Chain A
Amino acid sequence: MTESIKDKAFQGAITFILCILGIIALIPLLTVIARSFSSKAAADMNIINLWPVGFTLASWKYILSDPGLWKAFFISLSTTIIGTVLALAVTSLMAYPLSKSNFKLGQILMLYVIMTMIFKAPVVPYFLTVKGMGLFNNPLVLILPHILSAYNLAIMRTFFKQFPAEVEEAAMIDGCGYFQMLYKIVIPSSKAVLTTVGLFYAVTMWNQFQHPIMFIQKTGLFPLQLKIRQLINGGSDFANIAAVANVNYTESTLSAATVVFAIIPIIAIYPWLQKYFAKGAMLGSVKG
Chain B
Amino acid sequence: MSKKKTSAAVNMGLPKSKTSLIANIKKFWPYYLMVMPGVLFFLLFKYIPLLGSVIAFQDFSVFKGISDSPWVGLKHFKALISYPDFRRIFANTLILGLCKTVLIFPIPVFLSLMLNEVKNLKLKKTIQTAVYIPYFLSWVIVGGLIFDIFGMGGLFNNIRGFFGLDSILIMQKESWFRPIYVLSSIWKDAGWGTVVYLAAISGIDPALYESAAIDGASRFSRIKYITFPLLIPTILTLFLLSIGSFLELGFEQVFNLLTPMTYSVGDIFDTYVYRVGIQQAQYSFTTAVGLFQSTIGLILVLSFNKLANKFSDDGGLW
Are A and B in direct contact (Cβ within 8 Å)?
Answer: yes
Measured CB to CB, the residues of A under 8 A from B are: 1, 4, 6-7, 10-11, 14-15, 17-19, 21-29, 31-32, 49, 90-91, 93-94, 96-98, 100-126, 128-130, 133, 144-145, 147-148, 150-151, 153-155, 158-159, 161-162, 177-179, 182, 192-193, 195-196, 199-200, 203, 207, 232, 259, 263, 266-267, 270-271, 274, 277-282, 284-286, 288
Q: Are B141 and A49 in contact (CB under 8 A)?
A: no
Note all chain A residues with C-beta closer than 8 A to B134.
Answer: 25, 28-29
Q: Given A1-B210, A145-B45, do A100 and B132 touch, yes or no (CB 8 Å)?
A: no
Closest chain A residue, CB of each to CB of B131: A25
B129 at the interface (CB under 8 A from A): yes
Q: Given A19-B127, A117-B245, A280-B205, do A124 and B31 touch, yes or no (CB 8 Å)?
A: no
How far is the CB of A23 from the nearest CB of chain B, in Å?
7
Closest chain A residue, CB of each to CB of B122: A271
Q: Which of B8-16, B90-98, B160-168, B262-270 contacts A (4 or more CB under 8 A)?
A: B8-16
Note all chain A residues with C-beta closer than 8 A to B51.
Answer: 125
How far is the CB of A206 from the nearest CB of chain B, in Å?
9
Note all chain B residues with C-beta closer than 8 A to A154.
Answer: 237, 240-241, 317
Q: Are A10 and B220 in contact (CB under 8 A)?
A: yes
- CB contact list, B103-137 vs A, under 8 A: 111, 114-115, 117-121, 123, 125-134, 136-137
Note all chain A residues with C-beta closer than 8 A to B220.
Answer: 10
Q: Given A18-B127, A116-B42, A199-B195, do A122 and B283 touch, yes or no (CB 8 Å)?
A: yes
Q: Are A4 and B62 in contact (CB under 8 A)?
A: no
Q: How far is the CA of A94 from the CA of B307 in the complex (A)?
A: 25
Closest chain B residue, CB of each to CB of A104: B24
Contact pick for A109, options B28, B35, B117, B200, CB 8 Å = B35
Note all chain B residues with C-beta closer than 8 A to A277.
Answer: 198-199, 202
Q: Are B55 and A124 in contact (CB under 8 A)?
A: yes
- CB contact list, B197-211 vs A, under 8 A: 198-208, 210
The tally of CB-CB contacts under 8 A between chains A and B is 286
Q: How far is the CA of A128 from the CA of B65 in the complex (A)?
A: 10
How far is the CB of A219 from the nearest CB of chain B, in Å?
21
Q: Are A147 and B31 in contact (CB under 8 A)?
A: no
B60 at the interface (CB under 8 A from A): yes
B187 at the interface (CB under 8 A from A): yes
How far is the CB of B84 from the nearest CB of chain A, in Å?
25
Top 9 closest pairs, chain A to chain B, by CB: A125-B52, A94-B38, A121-B49, A97-B31, A178-B30, A110-B318, A116-B46, A22-B130, A126-B49
How far is the CB of B69 from the nearest CB of chain A, in Å?
11
Q: Given A29-B137, A130-B45, do A270 and B130 touch, yes or no (CB 8 Å)?
A: no
Q: How far is the CA of A113 from the CA of B318 in the complex (A)?
A: 11
How far is the CB of B192 from the nearest CB of chain A, in Å?
8
Contact pick for B230, options A25, A107, A150, A288, CB 8 Å = A288
Closest chain B residue, CB of each to CB of A112: B42
Contact pick for A125, options B66, B218, B297, B317, CB 8 Å = B66
Interface membership of chain B positions 134-145, coded 1 if the CB is closer than 8 angstroms to chain A and 0 otherwise: 101110111001
Q: Given A97-B31, A119-B294, do A11 and B208 touch, yes or no (CB 8 Å)?
A: no
Note all chain B residues with C-beta closer than 8 A to A196.
Answer: 195-196, 199
Closest chain A residue, CB of each to CB of B223: A10
Q: Are B202 and A271 in contact (CB under 8 A)?
A: no
Q: Are A105 and B66 in contact (CB under 8 A)?
A: no
Closest chain B residue, CB of each to CB of A90: B37
Closest chain B residue, CB of each to CB of A21: B131
Note all chain A residues with C-beta closer than 8 A to B234.
Answer: 155, 158
Q: Given A122-B287, A279-B202, do A7 and B218 touch, yes or no (CB 8 Å)?
A: yes
Q: How far is the CA of A38 from the CA of B315 in the complex (A)?
A: 52
Q: How far is the CA of A102 from the CA of B25 in the complex (A)?
A: 11
Closest chain B residue, CB of each to CB of A4: B218
Pull 24 A–B residue pairs with CB atoms less than 8 Å apart, ordered by A.
A1-B210, A11-B219, A15-B119, A15-B123, A18-B115, A25-B187, A28-B133, A28-B141, A32-B137, A94-B34, A97-B31, A102-B28, A105-B35, A108-B12, A116-B47, A124-B52, A133-B44, A155-B238, A178-B28, A192-B200, A196-B196, A270-B132, A278-B202, A286-B230
Contact pick for B38, options A11, A153, A200, A203, CB 8 Å = A153
Contact pick for B219, options A10, A108, A120, CB 8 Å = A10
Q: Are B39 and A122 in contact (CB under 8 A)?
A: no
Note all chain A residues with C-beta closer than 8 A to B230.
Answer: 286, 288
Q: Are A27 and B145 in contact (CB under 8 A)?
A: yes
Q: Are B287 and A114 in contact (CB under 8 A)?
A: no
Q: Are A267 and B129 in contact (CB under 8 A)?
A: yes
Contact pick for B203, options A98, A162, A267, CB 8 Å = A162
Q: Are A93 and B37 in contact (CB under 8 A)?
A: yes
Note all chain A residues with C-beta closer than 8 A to B229.
Answer: 288
Q: How far is the CA of A24 from the CA of B142 in the complex (A)?
A: 13
Note all chain B residues with C-beta closer than 8 A to A195.
Answer: 199
How far is the CB of A260 from the nearest CB of chain B, in Å?
10
Note all chain A residues with C-beta closer than 8 A to B48.
Answer: 129
Note all chain B residues with C-beta closer than 8 A to A199.
Answer: 195
Q: Which of B15, B24, B120 has the most CB of A within 10 A?
A: B24
